[in-house]
Amino acid sequence: MKREHQETIGGAGSSNGNKAESSSSSMATGKGKLWVEDDQDAGGMDELLAVLGYKIKSSEMADVAQKLEQLEMVLGSEDGFSHLASDTVHYNPSDLSGWVQNMLSEFNNLPSTDLDSSILLSNNQDSQPSTITSLDFSNNSQSKVFVDDSEYDLRAIPGVAAYPQKEFDKSNDRKRMKLTPDGSSTAPAVAVNSLQSSNSSCSPSSSQQAIMAVSGTLSEPTRPVVLIDSQETGVHLVHTLLACAEAIQQENLKFADALFKLIGPLASSQAGAMRKVARYFAEALARRIYKIFPQDYCLDSSYSDTLEMHFYETCPYIKFAHFTANQAILEAFANASRVHVIDFGLKQGMQWPALIQALALRPGGPPAFRLTGIGPPQPDNTDALQQVGWKLAQLAQTIGVKFEFRGFVANSLADLEAEILDLRPPEVEAVAVNSVFELHRLLDRPGDIDKVLGSIKAMRPKIVTIVEQEANHNGPVFLDRFNEALHYYSSLFDSLEGSGLTPPSQDLVMSELYLGRQICNVVAYEGADRVERHETLAQWRTRFDSAGFDPVHLGSNAFKQASMLLALFAGGDGYRVEENNGCLMLGWHTRPLIATSAWRPAAGDSQLPSQ
Partner 1 sequence: MAGSSEVNLNESRRIVPLNTWILISNFKLAYNLLRRPDGTFNRELAEFLERKVQANTIPVNGVFSFDHVDRTTGLLNRVYQPAPENEAQWGIAELEKPLSTTEVVPVIIFFHGGSFTHSSADSAIYDTFCRRLVSTCKAVVVSVNYRRSPEYRYPCAYDDGWTALKWVKSRTWLQSGKDSKVHVYLAGDSSGGNIAHHVAVRAAEEEIEVLGNILLHPMFGGQQRTESEKMLDGKYFVTIQDRDWYWRAYLPEGEDRDHPACNIFWSEWHKSRRTGVP
Q: What are phi and psi of 217, to 5 degrees?
A: -140, 165
Nearest Cα neighbor of 392 from 328, 346, 333 is 346
- The number of CA neighbours under 13 Å toward the Cβ of 477 is 17
- In the complex with partner 1, the residue whose CB is nearer, 87 or 429, is 87
* CB closer to partner 1 out of 276 and 591: 591
Query: What is the closest distance, in whole angstroms, from the C-beta atom of residue 235 to partner 1 in the complex?
Result: 4
Q: Which of 465, 223, 461, 441 is nearest to 320 (CA)?
A: 465
Which H or E run includes 403? strand 403-409
> Measured from the CB atom, is 57 or 176 closer to partner 1?
57
Strand-pair category, 583-588 with 591-601: antiparallel
Cα(297)–Cα(307) distance, integer angstroms: 13
Q: Which is nearer to partner 1, 235 or 292 (CB)?
A: 235
Measured from the CB atom, the residue of 68 and 262 that comes closer to partner 1 is: 68
Q: Residue 179 or residue 242: which is nearer to partner 1 going by CB?
A: 242
Residue 537, Cβ neighbours under 10 Å: how many?
A: 26
In angstroms, rounded to a whole number, what is the distance separating the alpha carbons of residues 538 and 470? 9
Q: Which is nearer to partner 1, 106 or 308 (CB)?
A: 106
The residue among 112 and 222 lying less far from partner 1, judged by its C-beta, is: 222
Choice between 156 and 241, CB closer to partner 1: 241
Q: What is the Cα–Cα distance from 444 to 463, expressed in whole angstroms?
A: 26
Rounded Cα–Cα distance for residues 140 and 189 (Å)? 40
CB crowding 259-278: b at 16 or more within 10 Å, else e = bbebbeebbeebebbbbbbb
Residue whose C-alpha is closest to residue 282's, from 259, 304, 300: 259
Q: How far is the CB of 574 from partner 1 (least distance, A)?
A: 7
Angle between helices 317-332 and 556-567 (to 10 degrees): 150
Q: Which of 249, 226, 235 is nearest to 278 (CA)?
A: 235
Question: Least distance from C-beta 123 to partner 1, angstroms?
Answer: 24
Q: Please, what is the minimum distance in Å from the beta carbon of residue 93 to partner 1?
A: 5
Question: Whole-number minimum distance, CB 62 to partner 1, in Å?
Answer: 7
- Give the span between the Cα atoms of 217 and 224, in whole angstroms: 20
Distance in angstroms (rounded) separating the CA atoms of residues 486 and 401: 45
Specify the residue, 77 or 411, whose C-beta has the smaller distance to partner 1.
77
Cα torsion for 517, 519, 523, 524, to the nearest 10°? -20
Least Å distance, CB 222 to partner 1, is 4
Residue 181, preceding peptide bond in cis (omega within 30° of 0): no
Residue 243 backbone dihedrals phi, psi, to 5 degrees = -65, -40
Q: How far is the CB of 436 from partner 1 (least distance, A)?
A: 23
Least separation in angstroms between residue 14's CB and partner 1 is: 7
Distance CA 185, CA 107 (A): 22
Q: 224 or 363, CB closer to partner 1?
A: 224
Please name the helix (run of DSSP H) or strand (run of DSSP E) that holds residue 465, with its range, or none.
strand 463-469
Q: Which of 380, 542, 540 is CA-nearest to residue 471?
A: 540
Closest CB 578 distance from partner 1, rounded Å: 6
| C-beta of 64 vs 523, nearer to partner 1 | 64
Taking the complex as a whole, the smallest distance from the CB of residue 527 to partner 1 amounts, in Å, to 26
Beta-sheet pairing, 583-588 with 575-580: antiparallel
Q: How far is the CB of 168 from partner 1 (least distance, A)?
A: 18
Q: Which CB sits closer to partner 1, 238 or 360? A: 238
Least distance from C-beta 372 to partner 1, angstroms? 33
3-state SS of 538-560? HHHHHHHHHCCEEEECCEHHHHH
Rounded to the nearest whole angstrom, what is the least distance from the CB of residue 357 to partner 1 in the complex?
Answer: 23
| Nearest Cα to Cα of residue 234 among 279, 275, 264 | 275
